[in-house]
Amino acid sequence: MALAISSSTTSLPRRSVTEPAWVRLLLIVSALGVLALFLLLPLVTVFGEAFSKGLDAYFGALGDDDAVAAIGLTLTVAAIAVPLNVIFGVVGAWCLAKFDFRGKSLLITLIDIPFSVSPVISGLVYVLLFGLQGWFGPWLKLHDIKLIFAVPGIVLATVFVTFPFVARELIPLMEAQGTEEEEAAVVLGAGGWRIFWHVTLPNIKWGVFYGVLLCNARAMGEFGAVSVVSGHIRGLTNTMPLHVEILYNEYNYMAAFAVASLLAMLALVTLAVKSLLEWRFSREIAAGTRHQKT
Amino acid sequence: MMIDARNVRKTFGTFAALNDVSLQIAEGEMVALLGPSGSGKTTLLRILGGLEFPDSGSVLFDGGDATKVAARDRCVGFVFQHYALFRHMTVFDNVSFGLRVRSRAERPSKQEIARRVHHLLSMVQLDDLATRYPSQLSGGQRQRVALARALAIQPRVLLLDEPFGALDAQVRKELRRWLRRLHDELKITGVFVTHDQEEALDVADRVVVMNQGRIEQIGSPTEIYDRPATPFVYQFLGNVNALPCQIRNGRAEIGSLVLPAPAYAGVSSAAGMAFVRPHDLQLSRPGEGEGALAVVHHVTVLGPTVRVELMMGEQIVEAETTRQRFSELGLASGQQVQLWPREARFFLRDGWEGTSFQSREELARSSAML
C-alpha cells in the first residue's frame, strides 16, 4: 500500500505538487516516529525481554513441557483449521462469484459475520451451544463427547474466527476474472473437475496463497474465542497465546516473552514470505488480484 | 453442419432476449448475426453453442435435436469476444487443451497432438510464439490463438462472438480478410455476431439482421443493403435520410416533393416515412430539373465524394455527390439547389414496430418516371 502511494507521487510533476523541504521532513519524521514507537519498539521489547536472561534461559522456557504442549496444540489447531477454511473458502467463493442465485448477498453477509462479531462472543456462543449447560450439552455428555474445554472446541472456535480470510480474498478476484475461461473450457469438451483443477484453480492460486497466509497467522494468534472455550488447562488445552497470558499473570515475564517471541517471529515470517512472493511474482499477481484489505 | 433453430425464445427475468426466432443455416455457410446491442444476437449464438438453453423452441444439428445437448458434447468451436484464453497456459497448451481433455480412448497420442497444434499454429501464423503466454501477445495474436484453439477440436461449426470487436481498425480489416480466406479453405459452417455492418457485409455469405429479440431480415449482403425489408434495417445499414411523408392514393408527399408510391394505391391518406440514401439524392441548379428546393447548409469534402447537408424546409437532408458534380454546381453554404431522389422507399407509420415483414412492398422507382 505504502509502496504504491509513494511510487505514484514521484511520477507527478515536481514543482507544482511538492511541499517545501521542512514540511516534507516534518511529515517523514513524524511518520517514522509513530512507526518506531508503536510497531518497532514493541517488537524490540518482545525479543529484548525474551533474551534478557540469556540464551539458555530462553531455550529453557521454550523447552518447558507446558510450553511444548502449547506450541504443539497451536500447530495442530492451525493444521486443521487452515485446510478446512481453504476448502470452505474456495468452494464458497466459487459459488458466489461464478453463479447467480437467490440469497447470494445474504450468503456474503454470513461469511462476513466472524469479522463483525467480537471473537469473545463467538467463543461464548460455542459454550452456550455445546457447554455442559448448553443446548446440546446433555446430549453430548450422554454420548461422551467433549467439545468445550477440549481440543475440538478450540478447533471449532478457530475455524469460525478465521472463516472469512480465504473466501474474502477470493470473491473479488474470481468476480473480476468472470466465467469466460470456464465457458471456453466447457465448449472444448472439459468436464467439471478438470475445469476446476486446470482452469479455475491456477487462476486463483495466488489469492488462495494470500488467504492461507492470513488465515494461518490469525489461527495461530487467536486469543479471544479460544480463551473462552479452552478452559486453560495447562499442557492440554493451552495454545501459545493462552500460555503467554498464564505465564505473564504468574509474573514469569521472561518465559512469557520467550513464547511471545515465537508468535512475533511467525508474524515476521508471514510478512517476509508475502513480500517475497509479491516481489517475485508481481506481474502474475497484478494480472489477477485486486487487493482488498481487511 | 446444417443448423436449424426453430421458434427459439429466451427471457432473462422480464427481458425478452429472443422472441420466437427461427433460422436455418446451410452446410458450409458463413452467417453474420447483425444487430445493435440488446438485439439478442449474442444470446442466439450462445444457445447454438450450448452455453445458454432456450425457454422454448429447439435447435437441430444436421436434423438431430441438439436443444438439450450439453456444450461439452456439441463439438462446436467458440471464439469469445475477449478471447478467454487460459491465462496461465502457453499458446501451445491453450491450443492443445481441447485435445488433452479427451478421454483416453479418444485422445490422440502426444506426438499427434503436437503435430496438429503446430499445424494449426502455422496456419494462423503463430508457430514461433508457441511457448509464449497470452499476456505476452498483441490483441490480434490472441484472437488468432483463440481461433486456433477453437479449430483444434475439429468442430462441426465455428461460432464467433464479436470476433474483431476489441481490435483496432487496421488489424480488424486484416483479420476479417483472413477469416474469410480461412473459411473458404476449410469450408466449415460458421456463425459470427457483430454490430459492425461493414464487417457483416464483407465476411458473410448471408446476413441476419436482428433487433429487439427478433429477426428483421435474412438475406445476402447485397439484398440486405439494396432492399432493406424494414425501416429498422434501412437505418441500421448505411446512411439514410428518414423523411416524414404523407401517403395519398399511390403518391407520397414529402413537403413540396411528390413521388409516386404505387404500392400504396389503395391508401387514401396515411402518415408514412420515406427512406432515401444520400447517394440517391440528385442535386441540380434551381430550375434545371424537377424536385424540391433546398438550401445548402454545410459541405464536407471526403476525398472523391462530397457530403452536402441541406435544409429542406425544417428537415435536414444529407446528400452525397461526386467531386466533379460538386464543382460543376459550385456548391456553397446558403446556396439554393434542387433535390430529386432517384430512389426512395416508403413505409406506413402503423405497424413498423412489431412484426418485421408487415410493411414490405414494392420499391418505388422514381427514376423510371424521370
pLDDT tens digits along A218-272: 999 888 888 888 877 877 888 899 989 988 898 888 888 988 999 999 888 988 9
3-state secondary structure of A82: helix
The one-letter amino acid code at B182 reads L
Tell me whether residues A186 and B51 touch, CB distance under 8 A. yes
Decide: B360 and B251 in contact? Cβ < 8 Å: no
Q: Give me the pLDDT at residue A287, please.
A: 54
C-alpha–C-alpha distance, residues B345 and A140, integer Å: 85
Tell me whether residues B87 and A185 touch, CB distance under 8 A. no
Write out chain A residues lying below 8 Å of B150, CB-based. Answer: 187-188
Confidence check: pLDDT of A61 > 90: no
DSSP lists the bridge partners of residue B15 as B12
Window B:322-351, CB contacts with A under 8 Å: none
Helix or strand (DSSP H, E) at B189: strand B189-194
Of A194, A198, A203, the CB nearest to B87: A203
Tell me whether residues A187 and B85 touch, CB distance under 8 A. no
Question: Phi and psi for B347 in degrees, rounded to 5?
Answer: -130, 140
Of B77, B87, B101, the CB nearest to A287: B87
Of B84, B150, B153, the CB nearest to A181: B84
How far away is chain B from the Cα of A189, in angstroms, using its nearest Cα? Answer: 4
Q: Give me the pLDDT at residue A3, please.
A: 41
Q: Give me the pLDDT at residue B151, please.
A: 92
Residue reference for cell 511520477: A11
Tell me whether residues B51 and A194 touch, CB distance under 8 A. no
Q: Give me the pLDDT at residue B356, please.
A: 26
Alpha-carbon dihedral sign for residues A214, A215, A221, A224: positive
Q: Give me the pLDDT at residue A188, please.
A: 93
The one-letter amino acid code at A85 reads N
How far away is chain B from the Cα of A288, in angstroms, using its nearest Cα? Answer: 10
B76 touches chain A (CB under 8 A): yes
Tell me whether residues A187 and B49 touch, CB distance under 8 A. yes
The model's pLDDT over A246-260, given as tens digits with 9 standing for 90+, comes to 888 988 888 889 889
Q: Give me the pLDDT at residue A145, please.
A: 79
Tell me whether residues A191 and B149 touch, CB distance under 8 A. no
Cα R_g (chain A), whole angstroms: 23
What is the band of A285 on the pLDDT scale with cuts at 50, 70, 90? low
How far away is chain A from the Cα of B55, in angstroms, using its nearest Cα? Answer: 18
Mark the ranges of chain B whose per-residue pLDDT is less than 50.
Answer: 352-370
**Parallel, antiparallel or unpaired: strands B270-276 and B241-248:** antiparallel
C-alpha–C-alpha distance, residues B254 and B259, integer Å: 8
A203 touches chain B (CB under 8 A): yes
Interface test with B, best of A177, A180, A186, A188 (most B CBs within 10 A): A188
Tell me whether residues A199 and B76 touch, CB distance under 8 A. no
The model's pLDDT over A112-167, given as tens digits with 9 standing for 90+, comes to 888 888 888 988 888 888 887 878 888 888 888 787 888 888 998 999 999 999 99
Nearest C-alpha in B relative to A177: B84
Nearest C-alpha in A relative to B48: A187
Nearest C-alpha in A relative to B101: A190
Confidence check: pLDDT of A196 > 50: yes
A186 touches chain B (CB under 8 A): yes
Residue A189 backbone class (left: φ over 0; alpha: ψ -120 to 50; beta: rest)? left
Of B50, B74, B78, the CB nearest to A184: B78
- From the number of C-beta atoms within 10 Å of its C-beta (0-12, 13-18, 19+), residue A112 rates as middle
Helical axes B110-123 vs B91-100, angle rounded to 10°: 130
The model's pLDDT over A13-35, given as tens digits with 9 standing for 90+, comes to 556 677 888 999 999 999 999 99
A98 touches chain B (CB under 8 A): no
Write out chain B residues lying below 8 Å of A285, CB-based. Answer: none
How far away is chain B from the Cα of A188, in angstroms, using its nearest Cα? Answer: 5
Of A186, A198, A202, the CB nearest to B71: A186
Of B51, B87, B153, the CB nearest to A188: B153
Report the largest interatomic distance among the alpha carbons of chain A, rounded to a whole angstrom.
77
Distance set, CA B316 to CA A211, B223, B283 (Å): 62, 28, 15
Q: ipTM of this complex > 0.85?
A: no
Nearest C-alpha in B relative to A200: B86
Tell me whether residues A187 and B135 touch, CB distance under 8 A. no
Q: What is the rounded average pLDDT of the residues A60-67?
A: 86
Mean pLDDT of chain A: 84
Nearest C-alpha in A relative to B154: A188
Tell me whether residues B84 and A180 touch, CB distance under 8 A. yes
Q: Give me the pLDDT at residue A286, please.
A: 60
Of A184, A194, A288, the CB nearest to B84: A184
How far away is chain A from the Cα of B73, in angstroms, using its nearest Cα? Answer: 6
The structure's pTM equals 0.77
Tell me whether residues A202 and B88 touch, CB distance under 8 A. yes
- Cα A282–A288–A291 angle (5° rounding)? 80
Tell me whether residues B72 and A191 touch, CB distance under 8 A. yes
Window B:140-199, CB contacts with A under 8 Å: 149-150, 152-153
Nearest C-alpha in B relative to A187: B72
The one-letter amino acid code at A84 reads L
Pairs of CB atoms within 8 A across A/B? 69
- What SS3 string covers B192-212? EEECCHHHHHHHCCEEEEEEC
Question: Phi and psi for B229 in degrees, rounded to 5?
Answer: -85, -25
Tell me whether residues B84 and A188 touch, CB distance under 8 A. no
Of B75, B86, B102, the CB nearest to A181: B86
Residue B256's contacts (CB-CB under 8 Å, 6 or more residues apart) are B292, B293, B313
Decide: B300 and B306 in contact? Cβ < 8 Å: yes
Residue B367's contacts (CB-CB under 8 Å, 6 or more residues apart) are B342, B343
Tell me whether residues B72 and A199 touch, CB distance under 8 A. no
Nearest C-alpha in A relative to B100: A190
Q: Give me the pLDDT at residue A283, please.
A: 63
